[in-house]
């Protein structure tokens, strides 16, 4: 490392020189609404590339990747998680799914407010959707009210011998408390993708590297609605 860069890193280590700047913005394409199967077989997914989630910590280095699309009604997500052993015993929504194998996505739609949406999905298709106010690192999520009708998510998962996959649809109607929703072409949101796996201890993956925990929202990447 050159001396100037070394001094910058020494005094400002959070700048994260190991993170490529071109990887921090993701364009997502528009689609017509479609049904979820849990394994990504809809033709809609064929039109958009994978986003690799780098392994950040832990013994397991399973391949982990994700895709995003959006429609006039909401945002679609798809995760692929290589996995030899599924750790997933919880059989109820709105539980602490992050204590077992899980994928997560966070949407911070308006950077003027420390408020974002978090969505978790387990291999057995149980979910945790919460709205999170984060005041200088103090945070606790709030569950959705009147969670029904057009405000309800759709989701499906599939477990195979060597992997599990997860699809979900988050309607804009559920995000209505947040500003900058619904998006239009050219809208940007801050966002991050995560995975936790519990084989051989705990292993973590994330699209953008955070400094403390998954709620380090100022280190989220950016999604651009194309």
Domain boundary assignment for the chain: 18-225
Whole-number pLDDT of residue 67? 98
Smallest CA-to-CA distance from 51 within 217, 216, 208 is with: 208
Smallest CA-to-CA distance from 88 within 99, 76, 77, 78 is with: 99
Whole-number pLDDT of residue 164? 98
Residue recorded with tokens 């280590």: 13
Residue recorded with tokens 């106010």: 133
Smallest CA-to-CA distance from 153 within 98, 79, 108, 93 is with: 93
Residue range 18-225 in CATH 2.60.40.1190: yes
Radius of gyration, alpha carbons of the chain? 17
Whole-number pLDDT of residue 3? 36
Secondary structure (DSSP) of the chain: --HHHHHHHHH-GGG-TTS-GGGGEEEEEE-------SS--SGGGGGS--EE--EEESS----EEEEEEE-SSEEEEEEEEE-SS------STTS-GGGSSEEEEEEE--TTSSEEEEEEE-TTS-EEEEEEEEETTEE--B--SS--GGG--EEEEEE-SSEEEEEEEEEGGGGTTSSS-S--TT-EEEEEEEEEE-TTS-EEEESS--SSSTT-GGG-EEEEE-
User: Could you read off the pLDDT tens digit of each residue along the chain, which spans 226 residues?
Assistant: 333 433 333 333 333 333 343 479 999 999 999 999 999 999 999 999 999 999 999 999 999 999 999 999 999 999 999 999 999 999 999 999 999 999 999 999 999 999 999 999 999 999 999 999 998 888 889 999 999 999 999 999 999 999 999 999 999 999 998 999 999 999 999 999 999 999 989 999 999 999 989 999 999 999 999 9
Pairwise CA distance, residues 154 & 119, whole Å: 12
């Amino acid at each position: 490392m050159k001396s100037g860069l070394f001094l910058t890193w020494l005094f400002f280590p959070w700048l994260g020189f190991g993170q490529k700047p071109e990887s921090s913005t993701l364009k997502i394409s528009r689609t017509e609404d479609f049904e979820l199967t849990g394994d990504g077989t809809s033709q809609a997914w064929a039109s958009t590339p994978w986003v690799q989630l780098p392994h950040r910590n832990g013994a397991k280095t399973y391949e982990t990747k994700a895709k995003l699309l959006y429609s006039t009604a909401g945002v679609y997500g798809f995760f692929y998680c290589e996995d030899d052993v599924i750790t997933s015993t919880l059989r109820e929504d709105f539980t602490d799914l992050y204590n077992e194998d899980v994928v997560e996505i966070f949407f911070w739609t308006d950077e003027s407010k420390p408020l974002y949406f978090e969505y978790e999905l387990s291999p057995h298709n149980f979910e945790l959707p919460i709205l999170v106010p984060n005041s200088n690192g103090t945070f606790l999520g709030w569950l959705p009210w009147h969670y029904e009708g057009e405000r309800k998510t759709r989701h499906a998962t599939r477990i195979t011998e060597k992997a599990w996959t997860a699809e979900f649809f988050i309607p804009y109607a559920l995000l209505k408390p947040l500003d900058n929703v619904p998006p239009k072409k050219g809208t940007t949101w801050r966002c991050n993708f995560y995975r936790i796996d519990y084989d051989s201890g705990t292993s973590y993956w994330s699209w953008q590297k955070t400094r403390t925990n998954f709620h380090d929202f100022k280190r989220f990447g950016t999604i651009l609605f194309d």
